[in-house]
Amino acid sequence: MFAVIKTGGKQYKVKEGDILTVEKLDEKVGSKVSFDVLMFSDGSKVVVGKPNAGAVRVSAEVLEHGKGDKLQIAVYKKMNGHHHAQGHRQPYTKIKIVSIK
């Protein structure tokens, strides 16, 4: 059994027990979160939503918040000698899929 959920502008294929790293959610660690389902399959039938798959819901537990690895960003313009560097660390939330109903 699996489902496709959408969060943070991205889609994820999930099943019970999966641990995902998604875009930062404004929830406290240990709280429950539910997601709308775009597609659901239990092995014998497939339900595709228009835009959501009916009454099917995915619930997850927030495990932790953090920041990803640092990305180095460099800008260089060759004719005028302009160069600039900066770093970026994307915030994330780690969740565990508890149930698909």
* 87 vs 5: CA distance, rounded Å: 30
Q: In 1-101, which ranges are continuous DSSP H helix?
A: none
Q: Taking 80 as the threshold, does the pLDDT of residue 54 lie above it?
A: no
73-97 pLDDT, tens per residue? Answer: 999 999 999 999 999 999 999 999 9
Average pLDDT of the chain is 94
Domain ranges of the chain: 2-100
What pTM, to 2 d.p., does this model score?
Answer: 0.83
pLDDT at 52 over 90: no
pLDDT tens, 14-23?
999 999 999 9
- In angstroms, the first-to-last Cα distance of the chain is 10
Q: pLDDT category, 12, cuts 50, 70, 90?
A: very high
Question: What is the spatial distance between Cα 33 and Cα 90, in angstroms, rounded to a whole number?
Answer: 21
Tell me the two tokens of residue 81: 């000698």
Two structure tokens written together for 46: 């497939």
How many Cβ atoms are within 10 Å of 12's Cβ, its own excluded? Answer: 19
